[in-house]
Amino acid sequence: EIIELQNAMVTWYQENQRDLPWRKLSKHQDINKRAYSVWVSEIMLQQTQVATVINYYNKWIKKWPTLQDLAKASLEEVNEMWSGLGYYSRGRRLHEGAQKVVNELKSEMPRNAESLMKKLPGVGRYTAGAISSIAYNEQTGLVDGNVIRVLSRLRIIGTDSTSQTAIDTFWNHANKLVPADRPGDFNQSMMELGATICTPKSPSCSTCPVQSFCKA
């Protein structure tokens, strides 16, 4: 059942994914550029709608296309670029993280989720999972609000999703489901499904690629 669900999700994602700028860069041949692009997008997407982030992301990458470029920027420039996105500490941590990678890690991004969490400021379990699975193809799951909703419905988990027991349960499910090949595409398919089909209200169950697996 897991293999069938994985295949259904990845196939659906290939055919239906939204055309988002960071997805193009996440396939870049330079592994550090891939990781940087995912990192910037995921930090911007915290607390902010995709439609809003696209413009900010494009401007950011145009001004600072690499980690090294961002590391050279002043905090004032970063705050100015971030203006309007809110939660300015996100931009400051990105800037601080870029400087740390350049100055302390020889411009090489940490290569797995565990190291990303340990070494980069503002990178928690979800962001580390996103960077490592999408940019490095590490077999690690991730859990955000969209994934929680999808998993809750797939397995009718009715509980307070903020409790530690629930969080552990969702992460266990996510890590069990993610395939060894194409983990990044699978993780993005789960987030994409929650954002576009398995929405909070009026989900489009009739067009869901994993309807047959869904207990809800």
What pLDDT score was predicted for residue 47? 87
Residue pLDDT, tens place only, 78-97: 999 999 998 999 999 999 99
Residue 25 — pLDDT band, cuts 50, 70, 90? Answer: confident
Specify the length of the chain in residues. Answer: 216
DSSP string, 143-200: --HHHHHHHHHHTT--S-TTSHHHHHHHHHHHHHHS-SSSHHHHHHHHHHHHHHTS-S
Query: Which residue, 150, 195, 19, is CA-closest to 141?
Result: 150
- Spatial neighbors of 3 by CB under 8 A, at least 6 apart, are 179
Q: Which domains does the chain have, with CATH numbers?
A: 1-213 (1.10.340.30)
What pLDDT score was predicted for residue 67? 95
| 147 in Cβ contact with 169 (< 8 Å) | no
Residue pLDDT, tens place only, 48-78: 999 999 999 999 999 999 999 999 999 999 9
C-alpha 28/C-alpha 70 separation (Å) is 18
What pLDDT score was predicted for residue 162? 87
C-alpha 99/C-alpha 71 separation (Å) is 5
Mean pLDDT of the chain: 95
What amino acid positions are annotated as catalytic residues?
42
